[in-house]
Chain A
Amino acid sequence: MDVRPKLLMGAGLAIAGLGLIGAGAGATFTAQVSASSEISSGGVELSLDGKTGSDLNLSFKGEDLGSHFAPISTDLNLKNTGTLNMPSTYLNVTATGCDGSNGSALAHSLNVTLTDVTRQDTVIYDGDLCSLADDKTVTSGRRGQGFVTPPEHDGVGGQLPGTLPADTARKYQLVIQPNDSKDGLPTDAQRSSTTVNLVFSGFDY
């Protein structure tokens, strides 16, 4: 009767000791440090005459033109409404009929003058409509400074001179008139039409 309690007490101490050994082996000293950085991206957005989107109708007044019609002129206000500067902007011009389809005679007898009004009325392009529309890397018109298209921006037309910082605008003037101011439009240009599309693109580099 005296032995059993002592034996049980001894066993209990042994188990408790094993428990302490286990707890010590599982614990380690740890420390933690961290670093973070917030990266935010800006945005590039363009508006043309206060409108945004990819299908703007600028309401060119060029219906029922006579052979010696007065030059059609329109102002184009291009604004960078994004948060990033645009070191490069591009203009891509296409016109139906330039590829020989309907309206070919009319399209090939039109002249286009594009002037940068903001930059002291600098003439950017002055030449055939179809030359501008067909050749995306036109280097010069008859009197213009011409476009240059870096390879990395292929397919967006010619590069417009100058930069377009964020929240600034540039005003262009587009004038369309007969190529031959003396003889006017050719006879086969009657009862036909051409649609001129202007696509401005801006890049942040």
Chain B
Amino acid sequence: MARSRKFFTVASLGVASFALIGAGATATFNDAVQSRQQITSGTMNLTISGPADSWTNGKMLTLKDIGPVGSTFSTGPQLVTVTNNGNITSALVKLTVSAPTANPTLANGIFVKIQMQDTKATVYDGPLAGLTNAADLGINGQKIAAGDSMAAFVTFYASDLPNGAQSGVVTPTFTVDFTG
């Protein structure tokens, strides 16, 4: 009986030792890394302004009324400026022009000249009616960096308007679309 008790004691110790070795083998070294980036969207804010005698709410500029004009007239160059007050670069997508009138003879007799202020390049000098149909004046894609501006001189003029152009009203409207 006594021999038998020793054997069990040894046997139980042996089992206990194995158990300890097993428990130690399940532990591991741990570590972690993390990457983080914040993306903030910018804001587009383009405003338009003109000469001192014009009116603007920032988005729409109304130049001084011209007239009643005679058969030959010129408004002279009127400086129109588009400023990028946002914090992202904006690109000019398109310039569209409309000229609503009840007197097409007048509208067809009016010419318009657009000259960039910085480069002095004339991007258009022709009939107003031709400008309303122009898809691209070569300025599409032109970019305005945040804080910068783009300015052009706009002149409306006519020479020898026909009699049918008398007592008419035309309102040329330029709309400039940007993307950013």
Contact = CB atoms under 8 A, between A and B. Distances in A.
Interface of A: 28-44, 82-84, 203-205
B131 interface: no
Given A32-B178, A42-B70, A42-B167, A37 B64 contact: yes
26 contacts: A29-B44, A29-B180, A30-B179, A32-B46, A32-B176, A33-B48, A33-B59, A33-B176, A34-B61, A35-B60, A35-B62, A35-B154, A36-B61, A36-B173, A37-B63, A37-B156, A37-B171, A38-B67, A40-B69, A40-B170, A41-B68, A41-B161, A43-B166, A83-B68, A83-B167, A203-B71
Given A35-B174, A37-B63, A84-B68, A43 B167 contact: yes
A133 B17 CA distance: 142
Given A39-B172, A41-B165, A31 B180 contact: yes
A148 to B, nearest CB: 20
A41 B67 contact: yes
A108 B173 CA distance: 60
A37 B62 contact: yes
Contact of B82 (A29, A30, A33): A33
A205 B167 contact: no
Nearest to B107: A39
Say whether chain B's binding surface is mostly helix, strand, loop, or mixed: strand
Interface of B: 42, 44-48, 50, 59-72, 75, 78, 80, 82, 86, 88, 90, 93, 103, 106, 110, 154, 156, 161, 165-180
Given A30-B177, A30-B179, A39 B171 contact: yes
Give the top 4 A-B pairs by smallest Cβ distance, nearest first: A42-B68, A40-B67, A37-B63, A204-B70
A41 B60 contact: no
A205 B71 contact: yes
Q: Is the interface of A mostly helix, strand, loop or mixed?
A: strand
A205 to B, nearest CB: 5
Nearest to A36: B173
B91 to A, nearest CB: 10
Contacts of B78: 37
Of listed A31, A37, A205, residue having the most chain B CB within 10 A: A37
Nearest to A152: B160
Nearest to A45: B166
B82 A36 contact: no
B48 to A, nearest CB: 4
B179 A41 contact: no
Contacts of B106: 39, 41
A42 B106 CA distance: 11
Nearest to B62: A36
B83 to A, nearest CB: 9
